[in-house]
Amino acid sequence: METAAFVLELEAFKAERLSRMVAAGEASLGGGPVDAKRLLEVALANEINVSELAAAWTPSTPEIDVKLAFARQAGDEAGHFQLVADRLADLGFDAAAFKQPPENPLFRYLRGLSTTVERVAAGLFTLESIAYAVNEGFIAFCDQRGDAETARIYRAYIQPDERAHQELGQRLLAKYADTPELQRTARQTVAKVLEIAAVGRAQAAERLGTACFPGC
């Protein structure tokens, strides 16, 4: 399949699967009391995990444009971590006391990916799309509870980066997923990331009492 058409098809597939996560977040709006600080602590873990993942991929990625894309992603996500940490400090949480939780099944899977197409499809193309989609629900959650500052931080800083990462993933897949075999690999990788993420978010929603928690 011609690469531009392939990316469009893959976008449609991803969007259909993502709609279920978005619906879960919308269903959580208007629910009972939830500790907003705890949700931002989830964001801290997500941001540092993605920053470390992209940094780990950078040295072993041979294509210079993809290498630089991962380096940019690592820096942006580290910046997001600091934004969230600063916001938590304003809310009375000692971000210096943050302890990174054990690696979850999604990041164990991601760290095992070794090819450029797999990494782009999983990280920039899919993981960042998940983050953007669920962050929209988290912004709505913050607006509903009068937390205008957290909503502003996500709208002004985090979401534009997540969108840019996603669009970068689209361009890189169009460039490198240029054979039927590589397109099949990309499609399978996207499906696997969405599957693992959906299970993980459902389990986390039970613990947190809401599906409106942020992504990476």
Residue 33: pLDDT band (50, 70, 90) is low
pLDDT at 117: 98
Residue whose structure tokens are 């993605």: 50
Closest CA to 126 of 110, 105, 104, 103: 110
One CATH from 1.20.1260.10, 1.10.238.10, 3.90.1010.10, 1.10.760.10 for 3-208? 1.20.1260.10
- The ranges assigned to domains in the chain are 3-208
pTM above 0.85, yes or no: yes
On the question of pLDDT at 26 being above 80, the answer is no
On the question of pLDDT at 25 being above 80, the answer is no
Buried/exposed code over 30-62 (b: 16+ C-beta within 10 A; e: otherwise): eeeebebeebbbbbbbbbbbbbbbbbebbeebe
Percent of the chain that is helix, strand, coil (3-state, to 5): 80, 0, 20
Residue 31: pLDDT band (50, 70, 90) is low
What would the pLDDT profile of 48-94 be if each residue is shown by its tens digit? 999 999 999 999 999 999 999 999 999 999 999 999 999 999 999 88
What would the pLDDT profile of 163-181 be if each residue is shown by its tens digit? 999 999 999 999 999 999 9
On the question of pLDDT at 30 being above 90, the answer is no
